[in-house]
């Protein structure tokens, strides 16, 4: 057959296929129009309503299986304006059932008029009892959608757990998997683990008759999808310890963080003042939120991971470790202290204690002069070829302890603190500065800023003799065998482990022999501690304490920071000691210390004017 003949055959085949397809379409249309009445009936008598099925949010447990956050049943009341009865309905009765002003109902209905076919939410957080009344009342056009909202049985960890709220317009532009009316974790654990906790929405397509009654799922649920419950998570937090810490910190401004050194798990994280997380759930959420925003003590601000505090004398531990690693300090080396340190016109005061002091005694008694000598010897080490080069070396050591950067935890909003670089001082002093210019850094003052989490991590580093695990707030996730591998890796400082023993011995001596931390002693437990008093331009000095216990095989490392509370031993120490007692022994026997802490009032010029 010629090529021309073959072409004609293919053309006829193509024409036949096209005619067959069009014929099938015409037959289907004819069947629908002439014989199948279901579409006509649906158009005449019914509408389809697409109802979103919201999943329950995943539960949050503490390390011992106690609920920290649960989901409870509630409902949204929706309206489709075109389905409202033409003769009207009893708006007064509806408002009474919903406990809302009539003006709100009228405002929402007025807005619904502009999109009469679309469902609009009238009111949220409708309890089950009210939902049952609405079902009985049966106003056409109104229907309820099942939701869950958070409840917090222990009422602790406001800043830690965070809160859930409705997605904003800005979030809708940023995330394409959320819709108007969806809830999202906004802060804390709720935000950090949003993808795990939120679950997956479902859909039900309902048939509605002309009177607004639901006839059932369209086509027996062929287009329905089932919501998937959010996954539960187990936190590292000990709820009992968390609650006790919040009680002790009540009325004070500051933070307390405790870490398990062998894992990096955060046992307790308190920012004070805190808030009852249930306050940010329900219809009063907006009012409560604004009240907290207006509070000068800033309860919504998580000081535990964001505040930049001068670490004060607790930072002397780092100076001693760097000095030993760099070979400019021996543990037996002594330096004099005559109520302070003096060099030219520069002076640093100190409290009265025996002189001269070696490293162990200097740590135990928190001698300022001793660590001024150590700091100068680090920066002025001849092998660096100048103080500025020595400062760079010092800064690298400090950063290896986790300062001056965030710790890459699983907690959102973590601050980095601040360790100034030499360019900062070059700019401030026009290049003309030396070790005496920055001498305040030797005792954790000056421009240095650390978060309470970083200070607790320092306690864990010393407890571990030179390394730490990334602090984290979640222990396990439902359906996952393990966490991100980074939480199981050791992070080593630039200081060899052998140099930590003299520092540990000094901290033990501070508690058990002749130091500033003797109030932290617990019978039968080798507690190690270091007090800190940080200078403060706004009133009294800040009180801080860093500790771990027991000395060998430590189970808890803790840092407490209380603004304007004076000496480290006056407030931060007893709080930390009580928390260690509870965690290590399961009870607190020193009720007199509890009474002292709870009755101690602190005045805050920055907040209480």
- Pair 334, 328: CB distance under 8 Å: no
User: Burial, 213: exposed, middle or buried (Cβ in 10 Å; 0-12, 13-18, 19+)?
Assistant: exposed
Mean pLDDT (whole number) for 100-117 = 90
pLDDT of 17 over the 70 cut: no
pLDDT single digits (tens) 128-146: 999 999 988 888 889 899 9
Work out the pLDDT band at 207, boundaries 50, 70, 90.
Answer: confident
The Cα–Cα gap between 71 and 73 comes to 7
Mean pLDDT of the 375-388 span = 94
Q: Report which of residues 15 and 468 the model is more confident about.
A: 468
| Confidence at 224, pLDDT banded by 50, 70, 90 | confident
Ranges in the chain annotated CATH 3.90.1310.10 = 48-235
The answer on pLDDT for 166 being more than 50 is yes
- The mean pLDDT of the chain is 90
The pLDDT tens digits for 561-571 are 999 999 999 99
Q: List, by residue range, all CATH 3.40.710.10 domains of the chain.
A: 239-283+302-608
Topology of the domain comprising 239-283+302-608: Beta-lactamase (3.40.710)
Residue 193 confidence (pLDDT) above 60: yes
pLDDT higher than 70, residue 31? no
**Does 543 have pLDDT greater than 70?**
yes
Q: Which residues contact 216 (CB under 8 A, 6 or more apart)?
A: 206, 207
- Find the helix or strand (DSSP H, E) in which 268 lies: strand 265-272
CATH 3.40.50.1100 fits 48-235, yes or no: no
Supply the pTM of this predicted model.
Answer: 0.88
Question: What pLDDT digit, counting tens, does each position of 333-362 carry?
Answer: 999 998 989 988 888 888 888 889 999 999
- Maximum Cα–Cα distance for the chain, whole Å? 118
CB 134 within 8 A of CB 77: yes
């Amino acid at each position: 057959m010629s090529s021309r003949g073959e072409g004609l055959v293919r053309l006829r085949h193509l024409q036949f296929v096209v005619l067959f397809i069009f014929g099938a379409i015409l037959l289907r249309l004819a069947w629908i129009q002439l014989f199948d009445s279901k579409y006509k009936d649906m158009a005449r008598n019914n509408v389809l309503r697409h109802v979103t099925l919201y999943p329950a949010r995943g539960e949050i447990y503490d390390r011992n299986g106690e609920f920290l956050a649960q989901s409870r049943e509630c409902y949204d009341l929706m309206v489709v304006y075109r389905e409202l009865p033409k003769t009207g309905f009893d708006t007064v009765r509806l408002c009474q059932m919903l406990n809302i002003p009539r003006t709100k109902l009228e405002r929402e209905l007025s807005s619904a008029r502009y999109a009469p076919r679309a469902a609009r939410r009238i009111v949220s957080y409708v309890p089950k009892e009210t939902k049952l009344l609405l079902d009985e009342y049966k106003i056409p056009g109104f229907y309820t959608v099942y939701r869950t909202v958070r409840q917090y049985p222990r009422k602790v960890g406001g800043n830690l757990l965070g809160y859930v709220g409705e997605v904003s317009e800005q979030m809708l532009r940023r995330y394409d998997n959320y819709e108007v009316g969806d809830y999202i974790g906004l802060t804390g654990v709720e935000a950090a683990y949003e993808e795990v906790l939120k679950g997956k929405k479902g859909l039900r397509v309902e048939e509605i008759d002309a009177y607004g009654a639901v006839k059932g799922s369209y086509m027996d649920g062929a287009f329905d999808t089932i919501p998937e419950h959010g996954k539960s998570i187990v936190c590292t937090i000990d709820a009992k310890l968390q609650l006790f810490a919040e009680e002790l910190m009540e009325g004070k401004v500051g933070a307390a963080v405790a870490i398990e050194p062998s894992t990096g798990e955060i046992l307790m994280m308190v920012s004070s003042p805190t808030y009852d997380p249930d306050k940010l759930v329900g219809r009063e959420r907006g009012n409560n939120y604004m009240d907290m925003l207006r509070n000068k003590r800033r309860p919504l601000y998580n000081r535990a991971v964001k505040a930049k505090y001068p670490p004060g004398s607790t930072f002397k531990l780092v100076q001693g470790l760097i000095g030993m690693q760099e070979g400019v300090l021996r543990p037996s080396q002594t330096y004099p202290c005559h109520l302070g340190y003096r060099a030219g016109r520069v002076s640093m005061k100190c409290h009265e204690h025996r002189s001269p002091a070696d490293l162990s005694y200097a740590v135990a008694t928190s001698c300022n002069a001793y660590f001024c000598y150590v700091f100068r010897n680090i920066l002025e080490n001849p092998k660096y070829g100048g103080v500025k080069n020595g400062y760079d070396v010092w800064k690298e050591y400090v950063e290896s302890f986790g300062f001056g950067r965030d710790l890459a935890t699983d907690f959102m909003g973590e601050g980095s603190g601040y360790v100034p670089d030499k360019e900062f001082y070059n700019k401030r002093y026009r290049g003309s500065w030396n070790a005496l210019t920055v001498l305040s850094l030797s005792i954790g003052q000056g421009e240095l800023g650390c978060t309470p989490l970083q200070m607790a991590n320092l306690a864990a580093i010393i407890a571990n003799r030179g390394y730490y695990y990334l602090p984290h707030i979640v222990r396990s996730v439902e359906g996952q065998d393990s966490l991100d591998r980074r939480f199981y890796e050791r992070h080593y400082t630039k200081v060899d482990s052998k140099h930590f023993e003299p520092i540990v011995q000094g901290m033990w001596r501070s508690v058990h022999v002749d130091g500033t931390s003797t109030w932290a002693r617990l019978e039968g437990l080798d507690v190690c501690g270091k007090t800190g008093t940080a200078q403060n331009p706004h009133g009294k000095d800040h009180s801080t304490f860093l500790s771990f216990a027991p000395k060998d095989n430590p189970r808890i490392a803790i840092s407490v920071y209380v603004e304007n509370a004076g000496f480290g031993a006056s407030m931060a120490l007893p709080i930390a000691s009580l928390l260690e007692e509870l965690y290590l022994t399961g009870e607190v026997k020193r009720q007199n210390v509890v009474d002292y802490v709870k009755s101690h009032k602190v005045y805050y010029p920055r907040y209480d004017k």
